[in-house]
Structure 1
Amino acid sequence: MAKPYSDDFRQKVMQAIELDGLKKCEASQLFNISRNTINLWFKRQAETGDIKPKQRKTSPQNGKIKDGEKFRTFVKEHGDKTQSEMAQLWEGDISQRTISRALQKIGHTRKKKTYGYIQRDEAKRSAFLAQLKNPINPI
């Protein structure tokens, strides 16, 4: 989100219009801002008596992992689990994506679990390789 204009800049624009008698469209061209912005400042001044920007509301940082050392030990203990399983095991309400970002931050990488080596049958494998060497129906 864009930063609001500073208070002193707003004051200068408002003074140029009110005290110097500059028109809103001339002030908008002079200060390189839109006329709608000036209208909004006048509206805010009429409503609140001030032209300061509204304070932005920050959302609570519930999904953050604050203790890095604690997270490192947690990863050492539960490194064999998936990220979604780790998110369920971590105290507090965090998402799998938060776990992913935290793992990237500490530089932890891991390979996917593959179970192909358990299902491999050497006899079938050698028979298949022999069949590849001696095709029955050559093209």
Structure 2
Amino acid sequence: MPAPYSLDLRQKVIEAYANKEGSIRQLATRFKLSKNTVSGFLRRFRETGTVHPKRREGVGHPAKIDEPRAQYLTEVLQCEPDLTLQELCQRFEARFGETISTSAMDRGLKKHRITRKKNGLRSPKTHPPGPTTLA
């Protein structure tokens, strides 16, 4: 999401409108804003008496992996470091009774800085020696 416009710009638009320096459309052109943005600034000022942007708390879904759950995942990965994301999701669901996608699991692990070191000693895929030719 883009950042809200600065308070300085908001105040200048409100002051210019209060001083009758132009219509909404003229002020939009002058400050390089859309007409709807200028109208929104004015509406917000009339309704609340302030030009501060709305708070953005509560946007989106809360994270499924909070601190106690992250601690559980850390312990599981210490015991079994070779678990895949899918297997971690299954363990999470069995323990907490909530489903979680692999992408949400990955985001949660990154957020809590839980690293996974996969075992590099797995047998490599076997390939026939030498180049293969199609006949």
TM above 0.5, one fold? yes
Offset from partner CA, 1:31-71 (integer Å, 9 cap, x none): 11111111122222333333322111234643236476764
Is residue 25–residue 35 contact of structure 2 (8 Å, CA) maintained in 1?
yes
C-alpha deviations, 1:77-128, integer Å up to 9, x for none?
A: 23454433322323544433233342796253468x99x99xxxxxxxxxxx
RMSD, matched Cα: 3.5
Matched, 1:2 2:2: yes
1:64 and 2:80 are equivalent in the alignment? no
- How many residues align? The count is 116
1:14-53 alignment, distance < 5 Å: 14-53=14-53
Residue 103 of structure 2 corresponds to residue 97 of structure 1: yes
TM (norm. structure 1) is 0.59
Answer yes or no: is the 8 Å Cα contact 2:89–2:102 preserved in 1: yes
How much does 1:28 deviate? Answer: 1.4
Determine if contact 2:28/2:38 at 8 Å carries over to the other structure. Answer: yes
Per the normalisation by structure 2, the TM-score is 0.60
Which one has a larger percent helix, Structure 1 or Structure 2? Answer: 1
| Greater RCO, 1 or 2 (C-alpha within 8 Å, sep 6+) | 2
Is contact 2:81-2:118 (8 Å) kept? Answer: no
Q: Which runs of 5+ in 1 are unaligned?
A: 118-138
